[in-house]
A and B are shown apart, each in its own frame.
Chain A
């Protein structure tokens, strides 16, 4: 567990657009090791004049995918690192990374459930690693994902989530679209609130294991809402990523 944390040179193997502002970068790692779903990599860019920019990006892939990791990254306006990755980087480019990092916001099958995952926007990324791991491991742990996005087109991983939610393994995926909903939309159409949390998390019992990731204000609202409906604070883990991109 406590191996030294070294920077290594990863090679971008593939870049795949997910939504208008989000791409998945598949990295080949010379020094790959299995991660714990929910962990991240630090990524560092260095200019010739010595200027450095460093960011943390959650891993989207399951640890069962060997030799590679996928980082799914939202392009932030004026984002030095995400802007470079989205606009400049191409497959074959090499970048410095270190990881996997983190032991707090992680879930693995032996940790059990039931599992209540709550995502805002690209906050779905570390939760996707958990769900991909859950599927790869053949786990039947009851799980629900409540995923808040601005619009239908902003639902990252939508097709895969719909597939996972229909595979009979005990996962249910619930969406809420806060800005615009397509006609005939049957999901929620508002920000996450305690009534929504009671409806979605309620069937999981009193003590679901909860992971919330998203913009800080969404995380606060969801964590406070879960506490309000009686979920013990010790069962709630959060990962905030600051103000939302918009």
Chain B
């Protein structure tokens, strides 16, 4: 059963691109070409290259190198929760 769930999760996986609009709205800037560093493995990736899991009330972005959770984004009618503790940094291009 777990293997089936894993396969399904994998098949539903998207890229950071898929949440580009939400990130643009949140940061006021195009974010997908910006670099971010995984706090777990230290690899740098562009935001658009992260693995995105969007089939839940929130969005989870994972590191494509080590699969650690880097970002969680939950939007409610009254506010937005943005958990970035899995990222060492996000570099926002001027």
Contact = CB atoms under 8 A, between A and B. Distances in A.
A101 B24 contact: yes
Contacts, number: 74
B interface residue count range (under 10 / 10 to 19 / 20 to 34 / 35 or more): 20 to 34
B30 A237 contact: no
B33 to A, nearest CB: 4
B73 interface: no
B28 A102 contact: no
A interface: dominant SS: mixed
A242 to B, nearest CB: 5
Interface in B4-57: 10-18, 20-21, 24-25, 28-33, 46-49
A5 interface: yes
Given A98-B21, A104-B49, A216 B30 contact: no
A56 B21 contact: yes
Interface of B: 10-18, 20-21, 24-25, 28-33, 46-49
Interface in A65-81: none
A4 B28 CA distance: 6
A104 B32 contact: yes
Contacts of B17: 40, 102, 104-105, 239
Given A216-B10, A238-B15, A239-B15, A102 B49 contact: no
A48 to B, nearest CB: 17
Given A1-B30, A243-B11, A104 B16 contact: yes
